[in-house]
Amino acid sequence: MYSEKVMDHFANPRNVGVIEDADGVGEVGNPVCGDVMKITIKVAEDRIEDIKFQTLGCGAAIATSSIVTEMAKGMTLEEAVAITKQQVADELGGLPPAKMHCSVLATDGLKRAVDDYLVKHGREPIGGPIVSDDPHFDPHEDDGEV
């Protein structure tokens, strides 16, 4: 059901924790499935210098949080918010359709952290819509978004 890479990131998640003096914080959750994620970032010259996460959820939620932090570290803020749920799933060697919502939460948490940083510095948010906030978002439906 899960790829080896998903299992590895679940069993050995990378970048777990909280950056105490974080420049940006993104918190997202889905009451239907119960997954909750918090992503904290440290930014230098509009580049993610450090990133950590805390996730309460299933193995896929932990794995997607872990891989998103690995993908985003070192990226510019613009590059980071452009990471898609499909890129997250692909990087993990695939996710079952019923678990694609976990990749949405991970990318939404990252967008929230970036936008939090930008707003704190008097700048316009660039993350775009947070899918998991949409009242029509079904966490167990794969909408085919790429």
Candidate list 6, 28, 33, 51, residue with the active-site label: 33
> CA 108, CA 134: separation in Å to the nearest integer?
11
- Give the number of C-alpha atoms closer than 13 A to the C-alpha of residue 122, restricted to the C-beta side: 0
Q: Is 58 known to be catalytic?
A: no
Paired tokens of 77: 């803020």
Strands (E), the chain: 24-29, 36-44, 47-56
Candidate list 6, 83, 89, 102, residue with the active-site label: 102
> CA 132, CA 110: separation in Å to the nearest integer?
12
Q: Is 33 known to be catalytic?
A: yes
Catalytic positions, please?
A: 33, 102
